[in-house]
Amino acid sequence: MKRTMFTKVSAIGVLTLLFPGVSRAFISIPIPAANGSRQVIADSIAPQTNALETKEDTIITSIGSGLSTKIDRINNNMQIPVTASGTISSPGSYILANNITGPITITSSDVSFDLNEFKITGSLTINGSVSAVTNIDIYNGAIETSSGSCIDMVGTMSVVVFDDLLIKQSTSSVAAINIPAAGSSILITNCWIVGNSNSNANPSHYGISCASTDGKIKIEQCIITTFYAGIYQTGTGAMTVRNCQIMNCGDSTNGFGIALNSSNNVVRNNLLRANGLSIVLGTSVTNNFIFQNVVTGGTNPNGAIIGDSNAWTSDNNRIFATYAYQNALGVNYDPTPPLRDTVVSTTTGFYVNLDLA
């Protein structure tokens, strides 16, 4: 039976525990608009929230329908045992029969791989470089390596799910999970992703490196800790990052929880704690939606959430209902947007945040 390693984490839930009297005010956004009417705020937020929900539903439908409820675990009662390292080159439902020393390579489509609460010591590679692969489901166990990525995806692939995994990266020179440019409709959920260094001296140590150009990447309900960068986006495709905890990534010199280098990303309901820079917006990225996050304990004095001046003015990013608290030197946003300004503007966007430094 599949083991659930941990349950859904909500930044709002964390806020309620830490500050019982603040969360209700935070959620309802009781800051009056310029004309004294809260309805102006509600009317302004509603279209953006509705558009966000539609986008998330599209991503979820794309991933879920393609996998047909994770391929129904592909005839779960007819699983093929895996007892040693090797290559899975035929469709089917596989099950890890014992702890093994990898690597494991998957080159076939329509593969479901139950790790059966055992561990692969070594890398797991999904290789779509010879021919594209689709419908891959890997779940319920651990992958640990001190050489190369724990999960390395190369070539072209789509509809890939990683669920309920402990992923431990014991080397500080690569990403624990590597998503390629031609990776599409990839879901990483309920995973605990652990690195071994958050130092500026190891700038290639990422929890998740995402080079996808497709824009159908969803990361949810994950814990990511102890990397130079928790999630590092290098591709042009958009991501949704939701209900995650990202902690201890980056130090007081550099490094970050989430780095967004493309447009149209959704970063929603996450707890970012004790990172160097928690959220970084790259140059000229537009239309990012950063909503209801808790950002606390940042160690880099340059700011908890940073971007160039256009990020807050002309690039149409939306950062609101975000709670920033106890970051280094009291700096939460750089450059500082009008955190308490509730007027919708073509130049300042729409911000309703709590900055309690």
Could you tell me if 110 and 131 are in contact, meaning their C-beta atoms sit under 8 angstroms apart? no
Check whether 80 has a pLDDT greater than 80.
yes
> Could you report the per-residue pLDDT of 107-162, keeping only the tens digit for each?
999 999 999 999 999 999 999 999 999 999 999 999 999 888 999 999 999 999 99
Residue 214 token pair: 């497709």
> Could you report the per-residue pLDDT of 296-355, keeping only the tens digit for each?
888 888 878 888 777 777 778 877 777 777 777 656 666 555 444 444 433 333 344 544
> How far apart, in Å, are the Cα atoms of 282 and each of 41, 237, 285, 306, 307?
28, 14, 6, 9, 6
Beta bridge partners of 94: 80, 113
What total of structural domains would you count in the chain?
1
Q: Tell me if 2 is assigned to some domain.
A: no
Q: Tell me if 3 is assigned to some domain.
A: no
Q: Tell me if 265 is assigned to some domain.
A: yes
Q: Tell me if 202 is assigned to some domain.
A: yes
SS3 category, 42: helix
> How far apart, in Å, are the Cα atoms of 20 and each of 13, 120, 144, 204, 296?
10, 42, 39, 39, 16
What's the chain's average pLDDT? Answer: 79
Q: Tell me if 4 is assigned to some domain.
A: no
Q: Tell me if 82 is assigned to some domain.
A: yes
> Could you report the per-residue pLDDT of 210-269, keeping only the tens digit for each?
999 988 899 999 999 999 999 999 999 999 999 999 999 999 888 999 999 999 999 999
pLDDT value for 298: 86
- Counting Cα atoms < 13 Å in the Cβ hemisphere of 91 gives 9
Check whether 53 has a pLDDT greater than 90.
no
- Per the structure, the complete domain to which residue 50 belongs is given by 11-355
- Of 55-69, 201-215, 242-256, the poorest mean pLDDT is in 55-69
Could you tell me if 189 and 157 are in contact, meaning their C-beta atoms sit under 8 angstroms apart? no
Residue 80 token pair: 């093929």
Cα dihedral 332, 337, 340, 344, rounded to 10, equals: -150
